[in-house]
Each structure stands twice: as C-alpha cells, then as structure tokens.
Amino acid sequence: MQKITPFLWFNDNADEAIKFYTSVFKNSKLINASYYGDAGPGPKGTIMTATIELEGQRFMLLNGGPIFKFTEAISLFISCKNQEEIDYYWNKLIEGGGQPSQCGWLKDKFGLSWQVVPEILGELIGGKDPRRANNAMQAMLKMSKLDIKKLKEAYDQ
C-alpha cells in the first residue's frame, strides 16, 4: 500500500468521477467503496468514499457535498511519451465540460486540474543551452495543449 494517497473531495458526484477516470485511464480499477447509511450525512446508499487506482496510483474519493472545491493550486501531472498520448489524455479529460488552460494545464469537468506533459519537456526547457531552452519555454507559454513538434522546432531555432 502506498504511504501517501491523494484524497479528492467531490460534490456528491464521486460515482460519476469514478466512472469517468476509470474510463480515461486504461490501467485503472475501483479498489473499494463505502456507502452512506441511515446516519448520513449523505443520502442512504450513495457512495461515501471510494478508492480507485489509475496507472498504479491510488486515490481516495469522498462525496462530501459543496463545501470545498478544487483549485489550481494542486494538479495531477501526466507524463506522456508522445503526441498521441498527449492528444488522448487532453481530449478525454476536457470531454464533457472540461476547460483548457495554458502550458499543458486543463481542468476536467469536476474542476480537478491536470497537466498533460511530454516526457521530453524538461530536456527542452531545462536544456544546457540557455538560448535554446528559452526558445522552447517561449513556445510553451503560447500553447494550451502542448505540441511536441512545435516545442522541438522552437528549441532547434
């Protein structure tokens, strides 16, 4: 069992989030769920908490109601091998009401922030040649969904 597990608070739609996230990530599963009973505070029979696993990372979800909302101060980072993976995760995560942001960031339909980033990004924006790294950084700052080809072209200028 992992020592630290992100705990995500949902506004009474954790069941929908479970279905959504386990459909987006191919290597995923519902580990367990507990349900509200007569004592509440949620409606009897609805999910209180659940643990899911996405690509080997466990998350606990809570149907906690509207008290707290997600913020961009925390995001989940997806390291992608190629543009095909970037396109897949980007399109899936903004599906159904998500919102694109800048520099590979987006919010999904639940308001949870994600970063969909190519593995090579660190080499491009942190490269040993400051001029080339700056070119890649400037290109990234103009992007919403990251484009590996354009980042490499900027780096190679």
Q: What is the pLDDT of residues 98-108, one digit of tens each?
A: 999 999 999 99
What is the pLDDT, as a whole number, of residue 1?
74
What is the pLDDT, as a whole number, of residue 97?
97
Write out the CATH class of domain 70-157: alpha beta
Could you give the count of Cα atoms lying within 13 Å of 24 in the half-sphere of its Cβ? 25
Furthest C-alpha separation in the chain? 65
**Mean model confidence pLDDT for the chain:** 96
What is the pLDDT, as a whole number, of residue 127?
81
Contact 34, 85 (CB under 8 A): no
Within the chain, which residues score under 50 in pLDDT? Answer: none
Supply the angle between the helices 14-24 and 83-94 in degrees, to the nearest 10.
Answer: 160
Residue ranges of the chain assigned to CATH 3.30.720.100: 1-66
What is the pLDDT, as a whole number, of residue 74?
96
Residue ranges of the chain assigned to CATH 3.10.180.10: 70-157
Q: What is the distance between the alpha carbons of residues 22 and 7, in angstroms, rounded to a whole number?
A: 16
Q: Pick from 80, 56, 57: which is nearest to 151 by CA?
A: 80
Neighbour tally for 104: CB within 10 Å: 24
pLDDT in tens, 41-60: 999 999 999 999 999 999 99
What is the pLDDT, as a whole number, of residue 40?
85
Write out the CATH class of domain 1-66: alpha beta
